[in-house]
Amino acid sequence: MNLEQIIKDAFVSKQSVCMPMEPMSRHTSFRIGGPAELFVCPAVEEDLAEVLRICRESRVLWRILGNGSNLLVSDKGCEGVVISTEQLSGLGVNGNLLRAGAGQLLGRAAHLALEHSLTGMEFAAGIPGSAGGALVMNAGAYGSEMKDILKSARVMTGEGRILDLPAGDLELGYRTSCIPSRGYIVLEAVYELRPGDRGAIEGRMRELAARRREKQPLEYPSAGSTFKRPQGYFAGKLIEDAGLRGYQVGGAQVSEKHCGFVINKDHATAGHVMELCSHIRKTVKEISGVELEMEVKRWGEF
């Protein structure tokens, strides 16, 4: 019996999905990527635990996928099992606490906060990631980060054990957390917000949305900010000063609207993106002496 059938036989929910050779271009905001050897989307936590158990016993590599908004997958695809948290997407409010399942989109969570006149999450309304992915990398925008509003998280270990952890245990820093190094899988995030004026909250969200539309290349597929912000600098400014605005390799281009974004302008491949990023890093280093570090995660062989 093959791994696909073993996993399907272990599912307790009819909504859980297991598919071989699923194109990852369907699951990343870059719209790039070859097939996952096996793509699994558990509908309930029990099925997630079973998939982990089977992978562990079969000694098969597994990876967790959120909304794929900060990810570049190789044109050759990726081996092993890709586990999507898309269906683990509960959402609710209790007093000042907002709970969001790992697969829930941050934008939907922020709008639920608005409906309940809770402030603190406005910055997250335009971030295209999921609650789980945003927590893993402590996503942020406009001077705020997940760590500013996170109260606690519910996670699963690689052995299937569930832990409820306070925010302070997750070592949230600039685009980092201890979640990957400890092998945790985010199941749910709990945010502690504050009562606010609904009109003011909505106004702030509209203001930030307008700023994003004006300054970011939202009309093209991308993975957001391609490089981390170097201490004391802005990556986009360094790239612009290096004369790379609009520079293109194949279908991948440095955005003309915001040089901190590499975009999929015209059927770019992962190879095009990596070649362009290598050129950017080399040129910026030569001109400014600053070493850029990629913020976008990479899966597969490059």
Rounded to whole angstroms, the Cα distance separating 77 from 301 reads: 8
What letter represents residue 174's amino acid? Y
Mean pLDDT of the chain: 96
Q: Mean pLDDT throughout 184-204?
A: 98
pLDDT digits (tens, 9 = 90+) for 229-247: 999 999 999 999 999 999 9
pLDDT digits (tens, 9 = 90+) for 8-52: 999 999 999 999 999 999 999 999 999 999 999 999 999 999 999
Q: Closest Cα to residue 152, out of 194, 98, 190, 99?
A: 190
Task: Report the predicted TM-score, pTM, of the whole model to 2 decimal places.
Answer: 0.93
Provide the pLDDT for residue 254: 98
Residue ranges of domains in the chain, CATH in brackets: 3-84 (3.30.43.10), 91-200 (3.30.465.10), 218-299 (3.90.78.10)
* C-beta of residue 81 within 8 angstroms of C-beta of residue 50: no
Q: Looking at 37, 79, 240, 295, which residue is catalytic?
A: 295
pLDDT reading at 1 higher than 80: no
Considering the candidates 108, 175, 212, 245, report the single residue annotated as catalytic.
175
Amino acid 171: pLDDT: 97
* Residue 225: active-site member: yes
Q: Is-catalytic flag, 295? A: yes
Residue 218 has pLDDT above 90, yes or no: yes
Percent of the chain, pLDDT > 70?
100
Stretch 120-142: mean pLDDT, rounded? 95
Rounded-to-integer distance, Cα 30 and Cα 256, Å: 17
pLDDT level of residue 157 (50, 70, 90 thresholds): very high
Query: What is residue 184's predicted lDDT score, i.e. its pLDDT?
Result: 97
Q: From CA 84, how far away is CA 38, in angstroms rounded?
A: 11
Q: What is the pLDDT of residue 226?
A: 97
Task: Identify the active-site residue in 25, 69, 225, 255.
Answer: 225
How confident is the model over 40-95, as pLDDT tens digits?
999 999 999 999 999 999 999 999 999 999 999 999 999 999 999 999 999 999 99
Do 71 and 296 touch, CB atoms closer than 8 A?
A: yes
Q: Is 144 a catalytic residue?
A: no
